Structure 1
């Protein structure tokens, strides 16, 4: 088998140690020799490992993506050589006794023959931005969980505030809850604290705030509310930090927000997860497959079968699906909304959101690779494409029956220079004319059948 890399290193990474196998040319021509050593994953031993690999002349190193344990050795080695991060599912060792040494040797052997493909690892600035955006998603999950805990606790006290205020997070609801925690129990007084549009619901609020809210509930509500406020303050600080980190990609983020359903936070996640550099992916199809929004299939003996869900970038996919859900509430005002409405009827909202997310990511690829803004196809694009395809099918069917069909647009038929043509066409029997959508087709019958051809 052809040797693509002469001096390589394979790393089997664990939490406390890393096993390294270096493969270099042997003493005899055409032979290969390997040396294996084990190092701790603290910074001192990792620097020793790096110096040893440089001394051995290794030019490429590869390691599996093992939880987050791959990061220290990867970051240490990327300064001096090319490092590949591998998907563990793509490299299965032959059956036999499994050890860290054999895993490292297997990785090195596959690497030297070019049988591995590296995963996408962004540059350090993108990695820092990615840590911020992912932590924000986790904090948003914490906020949702704390709000749910507060609602369940209020249910235990027979307080139905969320049924009127839709949640416990609006300003009016927070003011009422704080007053209840401080000792206020009069439902009418609490309802009178409503603000803005919520004041129109004061009678309903008064009924919803009647219950048996006691000191125990007040203690629990206070603890949960304090936790909720801490999370919200952390989210506000994090938003400021993310905006500052996104300044080098301000143009790309502003351009991405022209896509329907993509707001600032979604655009920031797209930049953080893809690096805003489309050269790594090569095509929109590969980007969609990497993100996990493209359908997977398995082909064998000429048969293609679906493989279900693919491995995906859950952070990017979740944001795109959320943006697709907001597009579905636009009621067909643009192409993604029309696509969502069309697919929801046939495949359900879940499949529709994933398909719209795929279309969004394809648009992202072309926008970032060509430095262009979003250009919407129009809400009627799918209908027009369906009409054109239907017209082609009808024309093909008539041609198979031995007819010749010429199509003229309605606009051209109404121009003055076509008046005579329209007059001649008026003489055509109804069964020999086909009007569909925005085109009119005149069927020309062959002369050899004894029927006069109709000039258009």
Structure 2
């Protein structure tokens, strides 16, 4: 096979050690391989960098093993062309597997240009991505805590969630504090309602009449304290992310113009895909990378599966959530969701709309143009005759005889 990189190295990265294999030209025997093992401490990683430099290495490849690749990448970045590779793309022949053989296999694949590099964004982009991902973790933890509060309330015969859509809203939070204090009657707690909740006074009185045990008050107090702490952390993350978003503000504002995409969602999308769309050959490649595009598995001329592949889980999750959120709007994307959900189900419809959202975001950032909605009646306008026949057929099934007369158009 053709040699693409004459001086390269493969790294087999673990939590405590890195096995490195360097391949360099050798006039007498063709190619020379040298293998060394280093610790993952910063001092030893610097020694690894010096060792690779002494062999005039130009390219280094390693597996994307959890988070263990990041310390190694931080040291080698800027000194070599570092290629991060998905482990599923370079499986070796089973049998006789060792760390040394893994490093040799990675180096040989790199030498012949058989590795497909993963996307490693610039450092500013990675910083923003770390912030948005950790904020999402805090938001998930808050949701878990709110669910635990709901379990405690149910165990205490408090049916607040049956009346209030958000038990952690302004009214619900005041009532929970009163429950923890234990000095209020259901009538007094119902009087703490604000806004539209004041219209549900009688229902609140019935819902707040329960049997709260002392230990349940203690549990509620601890859960509410943790929720307050997480709320403060999320607010600090919002401030920090807003500061780090300044270089990407134009892209965030453009993505935010898509219906169903809130500011936080736009920040996550931009933090995951960046602003340089030239890294993706097309919008379809971006959708495939994110894991929201149909798979391609064909054999013998038959398509065996079209399941989506594993992609960027963070990006896929937020896109699917946005798809479910915009399904209740009167927009083109909502019409697409309802059209597909009727035939394929809501889950597949959500993935398809997530694909559309990402393709739209790709073009908005590439063209630097805001989103222009096609309208909820876009599909009806494309095939009006089909819509007419379908509606007539439905009415006839209900036992009606339909005679249509066109409405004269005003001149």
Fold shared by both chains (TM-score > 0.5): yes
On the 8 A contact 1:160/1:208 being kept in 2, the answer is: yes
* Cross-structure match for 2:359: 362
Q: CA deviation at 1:307?
A: 5.0
Match of 1:38 in 2: 37
Contact 1:3 1:112 in 2 (8 A): yes
After the TM superposition, which of the residue ranges 167-176 and 106-115 deviates more from structure 2?
Answer: 167-176
**1:403-428 deviations in whole A, cap 9, x for unaligned?**
xxxxxxxxxxxxxxxxxxxxxxxxxx
1:147 aligns to what SS in structure 2?
helix
Matches within 5 A, 1:153-192: 153-192=152-191
Aligned pairs for 1:295-444 within 5 A? 295-330=294-329, 333-386=330-383
* Structure 2 counterpart of 1:226: 225
Q: CA deviation at 1:286?
A: 0.6
Post-superposition offset of 1:176? 1.2
Structure with the larger RCO, 1 or 2 (CA within 8 Å, 6+ apart): 2
Q: Structure 1 pair 88/167, CA: closer, same or farther in 2 (3 Å)?
A: same
Query: Which residue of the partner structure matches residue 284 of structure 2?
Result: 285
The 8 Å contact of residues 64 and 87 in structure 1, kept in 2 or not, is answered as yes
SS of 1:329's partner is coil
Moved more, 256-265 or 53-62: 256-265
Deviations 1:247-280 (A, max 9, x none): 1111111111111111111110111101221111
> Where do 1:54-73 residues align within 5 Å?
54-73=53-72
CA distance in 2, matches of 1:388, 1:50: 68
Tell me which moved more, 75-84 or 301-310: 301-310
Q: Distance in 2 between matches of 1:6 and 1:44?
A: 28
Distance in 1 separating the partners of 2:296 and 2:343: 21
With structure 1 as the length reference, what TM-score do the two structures score? 0.83
What's 2:257 paired with?
258
Once residues 318 and 235 of structure 1 are traced to their aligned partners in structure 2, the CA distance between those partners, rounded to angstroms, is 19
Structure 1: runs of 5 or more not aligned? 391-436, 438-456
Q: Which runs of 5+ in 2 are unaligned?
A: 388-405, 407-411
Query: Cα distance, 1:75 vs. partner?
Result: 1.3
TM-score, with structure 2 as normaliser: 0.91
| Contact residue 184 and residue 190 of structure 1 kept, 8 A | no
Q: Structure 2 CA distance, aligned partners of 1:387 and 1:88? A: 50
Q: Point out the structure with max Rg over C-alpha.
A: 1
- Matched with 2:25 is 25
- Report the CA distance shift for 1:372/1:389 in structure 2 as closer, same or farther (over 3 A): farther
CA contact (8 A) 2:293 2:308 kept: no
1:432 corresponding residue in structure 2: none
| Number of aligned residue pairs | 390
Contact 1:161-1:167 at 8 Å conserved across structures:
no
Partner of residue 98, structure 2: 99
- Bigger mean CA offset, 5-14 vs 209-218: 209-218
Once residues 383 and 76 of structure 2 are traced to their aligned partners in structure 1, the CA distance between those partners, rounded to angstroms, is 54
| CA shift for structure 1 position 315 | 0.8
**How far is 1:387 from its partner?**
5.3
